[in-house]
Amino acid sequence: MHNQVMTHLGDGGRIMMTKDEIAEDIIRGTNDASDRAQIPSLTKEEREQLLDIFCEPGRIVSVSPGEEVVVTDDSCSMTYYADQENSGMGIPMSRPTAILNWERAACGDTCCMGHNDFSYKPAKAVIHYEANEYYSTSQTTTIPMFYGSQPNMGLYFRPDGPFDNPAELLPIGKIDEARQAQLDAKQQLKSDLVYIGKELNQVGCEAMNFDTSGSAGDADMAAALEAVRELKKIAPNMYMELGMASEFVLGMHGKIFFEDTRLAGLYPHQLVKVAEAAGVDIFGPTVNVNTTETTPWNLSRSVTMVKATAEVANIPIHPNVGMGVCGVPLYEVPPIGAVTRASKSLVQIGMADGL
Amino acid sequence: MGSAMGGLRTTGDLVAWMQMSRKMKINDAKQYVAKKLGVEVIDLTDEEKMLELREELDIGTIISMSGGSKGIQAKCKIAKLLDIEINSVNLFKANIRDFI
């Protein structure tokens, strides 16, 4: 076991690696990110810094005093009362109580309320209930309180929604019909996001989080960006966070633009500039995790893309560090050693402003 | 959370407000808050100093102080301290403007 370092696979499984093996995976990971996103690889010094973080003997690692960052979340307080579907603990507890626990027991820097489905479409149907509970809870919270959910355009297609399903149209060659269905859904989604934002602004909503934007592709991302732009005009003091669903915008349509930029295929360092133009206040880059690769490979890849994003961003960036993104293994109880190493390296090397 | 600022334990909420309201990067946000509080940046995550300072400023503390500000009352003071707009505070003030 001499010279062996304990780390994890991307699926959370514990493995032992030599220092040389970790160094090799760090090189492979950063080069993969460089090739895919057309960005610089980590420097020799940065790779050595990342290697040192992996080789720290402690089970848990952290940044040095003075380097701490702000944490925003996608309704982490929901995990108190939700079930396995939301990686929840199933405690019989109300949503406002969970949020106050998050503020005063977990000591979050910010907190977030969201619909249990964590999608905006079902939230729209009960928006007055949601707005009422947001209002009453925001009277008791001291830390900034977001209302968050996912744009989740997939819910707008049959059988869940009114529009033809592109996933059914594309395999049978109905390309134009699939594109039109996405444009129709995009318009409805944008309209719903703006409607919900207006309702929440009426009750003094402090901030909104468009979490996992682009999960249904470029039309989904366009709806979120257009909604942000419109809401910033209507409610300039309701601050907006937008996070990605995957490391590049999926081109399910392929020809959708925001202003002059085609959205399909944009990596975080490119999308952040579009987000800035839309009026986003905090941007959440995402980097996918490969479950069959090691955490050194995955995290090296993630740090490379996040660093490239931080270097061009004029707004704060909070990389997503949930399970299965930005180096955190895809497992519903993520190993704490991998989570804390992801946090430390994304801050120290990736220059993240938050997590 | 191991690399986070610690929310009400220290000044995580205040730095977060500056990122949200002014789009400040982390170092700018910390420097702004430190200047407003009259402390050094390194002090922003010093639990002992920040508990005393938050109690003195009455902007909400992690330990529940009887009669101390929390919630919207604390956020009113935070908005003034940081010179920022907070939507919930603006609504609250508008709703009680005839009584103050």
Q: pLDDT, tens digit, for every residue of A311-327?
A: 999 999 999 999 999 99
Which residue, among B69, B37, B2, B10, has the nearest Cα to A141 in the 3D structure? B69
Q: Residue type for A31, please?
A: N
User: Burial code of A30-48, b = ≥16 C-beta within 10 A, e = fewer?
Assistant: bebbbebbebebbeeebbe
CA diameter of chain B? 45
Q: Is the bond leading into A159 cis (omega within 30 degrees of zero)? A: yes
- Mean pLDDT rounded to a whole number for chain A: 97
Q: Which residues of chain A neighbour B16 with C-beta distances below 8 Å?
A: 70, 72, 109-110, 143-144, 354
Q: Residue type for B67, please?
A: G
- At residue B2, the pLDDT reads 77
B68–A contact, CB cutoff 8 A:
no
- At residue A1, the pLDDT reads 56
Percent of chain A having pLDDT more than 90?
A: 97
Q: What band does A2 get if pLDDT is binned at 50, 70 and 90?
A: low
Using CA atoms, how far residue B96 sits from A297, B69, B93, B99, B100, in Å, is: 56, 17, 5, 5, 7
Neighbours of A100 (CB within 10 A): 19
Instruction: Among A65, A107, A282, select the one facing B8 at the smallest CB separation.
Output: A107
- At residue A199, the pLDDT reads 98
Q: Which residues of chain A neighbour B79 with C-beta distances below 8 Å?
A: none
- At residue A312, the pLDDT reads 98
CATH topology of domain A4-348: TIM Barrel (3.20.20)
Q: Which residues of chain B neighbour A106 with C-beta distances below 8 Å?
A: 1, 7
Q: How far is A283 from chain B (nearest CA, A)?
A: 10
Tell me the average pLDDT across A122-140. Answer: 98
Residues facing A7 on adjacent strands: A15
- At residue A272, the pLDDT reads 98
Would the pTM count as exceeding 0.95? yes
Q: Please indicate whether, in this complex, the C-beta atoms of B19 and A62 are within 8 angstroms of each other.
A: no
Q: Which residue of A has its CA nearest to B12?
A: A109
Q: Which residues of chain A neighbour B55 with C-beta distances below 8 Å?
A: none
B97–A contact, CB cutoff 8 A:
no
Q: Which residues of chain B neighbour A237 with C-beta distances below 8 Å?
A: 21, 85-87, 90
Q: Label residue A59 exposed, middle or buried (CB < 10 Å: 0-12, 13-18, 19+).
A: exposed
Q: Please indicate whether, in this complex, the C-beta atoms of A108 and B85 are within 8 angstroms of each other.
A: no
Q: What band does A283 get if pLDDT is binned at 50, 70 and 90?
A: very high
Q: Output the CA angle A320-A273-A120, nearest 5 degrees.
A: 50
Q: How far is B86 from chain A (nearest CA, A)?
A: 6
Tokens of A276: 């800035």
Q: Please indicate whether, in this complex, the C-beta atoms of A71 and B1 are within 8 angstroms of each other.
A: yes
Q: pLDDT, tens digit, for every residue of A30-66?
A: 999 999 999 999 999 999 999 999 999 999 999 999 9
Q: pLDDT, tens digit, for every residue of B23-60?
A: 999 999 999 999 999 999 999 999 999 999 999 999 99
Q: How far is B20 from chain A (nearest CA, A)?
A: 6
Q: Please indicate whether, in this complex, the C-beta atoms of A106 and B1 are within 8 angstroms of each other.
A: yes
CA dist., res. B8 & res. B47, Å (int):
9
Q: pLDDT, tens digit, for every residue of A242-267?
A: 999 999 999 999 999 999 999 999 99
Q: Which residue of B has its CA nearest to A65?
A: B42
Q: pLDDT, tens digit, for every residue of A181-231?
A: 999 999 999 999 999 999 999 999 999 999 999 999 999 999 999 999 999
CA dist., res. A108 & res. B44, Å (int):
15
Tokens of A322: 């949930």
- Mean pLDDT rounded to a whole number for chain B: 96
B63–A contact, CB cutoff 8 A:
no
Instruction: Among A70, A141, A315, select the one facing B15 at the smallest CB separation.
Output: A70
Which residues have a Cβ under 8 Å from the Cβ of A241 and sit 6 or more positions away? A72, A146, A148, A207, A208, A209, A210, A211, A280, A281, A282, A283, A284, A318, B20
Q: Please indicate whether, in this complex, the C-beta atoms of B86 and A347 are within 8 angstroms of each other.
A: no
Q: Which residues of chain B neighbour A316 with C-beta distances below 8 Å?
A: 19, 23-26, 29
Instruction: Among A141, A201, A352, select the one facing B71 at the smallest CB separation.
Output: A141
B32–A contact, CB cutoff 8 A:
no
Q: How far is A137 from chain B (nearest CA, A)?
A: 9
Q: Please indicate whether, in this complex, the C-beta atoms of B6 and A145 are within 8 angstroms of each other.
A: no
DSSP-H helix ranges across A89-208: 95-104, 120-125, 127-138, 166-169, 175-202
Instruction: Among B2, B8, B13, select the one facing A60 at the smallest CB separation.
Output: B2
- At residue B98, the pLDDT reads 84
